[in-house]
Structure 1
């Protein structure tokens, strides 16, 4: 997929635009904080205050390299919305990220977060 890198939002701008009940089509740029080390099926992109946006890929239509992508800039396009992530799903993501059993066990409650389903992305 090709997409235009014009009218690109920062992750902070995106977070301000997406309210609890809205979804938003957007192209966004940000810094990768972590990524799936198992299959390359998701990214966490930094927000302010140590928060992240979970970026997954529509219909598992593509993947990112299974390597440490932390600190790299990414531009992604698709749909953002607020979601509640279950404990089970959070633990699955933590396992994919290579977290320790203790870190995984410490996840005990659902988490409201900003999520993004990408139709395409470019890692710079």
Structure 2
């Protein structure tokens, strides 16, 4: 009986190590040669997870859930009024809407396509119609597209306290 219990424990330990290594392979490796411009709270790029890994985390979350996270992703769009929000590509067909903690800092308006590391809180949010219209106007969307906004939308959201912009 003891040998069966010991064998089961060994299999479980080895399997958990395998899963841990798989998750660690999704973490972006340290690279001191990359130059970043910092916004908000000072952060470092070490330990940031890839956008695709973050996408899988979002898929397991429900409305109201949140996790502290640091992700690296490409910028899809930026608020063209003052840089007060941006969307990031999760590389799975979805975007994440990033705002900045306490409206404390803004991003340059010309960073679409650039790589960023964002640190903060990831969550699922339902955005009301008036807020969706506001974002569409900030992004310079056509009047027809803005008029087509008629219902709230559940989105992947992120409040960043610090951002690194790859130079």
Instruction: Say yes or no: does 1:34 pair with 2:77.
Output: yes
SS at match of 1:102: helix
Structure 1 residues 41-79: Cα deviation after superposition (integer angstroms, max 9, x where no partner): 000001234321000000010001133x21111111000
Going by fraction, where is helix more abundant, 1 or 2? 2
Instruction: Say yes or no: does 1:119 pair with 2:119.
Output: no
In structure 2, stretches of 5+ residues that fail to align are 1-40
What does residue 96 of structure 2 align with? 53
In structure 1, stretches of 5+ residues that fail to align are none
Instruction: Say yes or no: does 1:101 pair with 2:143.
Output: yes
2:127, 2:153 within 8 Å by CA — same for their partners in 1?
yes
Q: CA RMSD in A?
A: 1.3
The two structures have a TM-score, normalised by structure 2, of: 0.70
Cα distance in structure 2, aligned partners of 1:60 and 1:90: 18
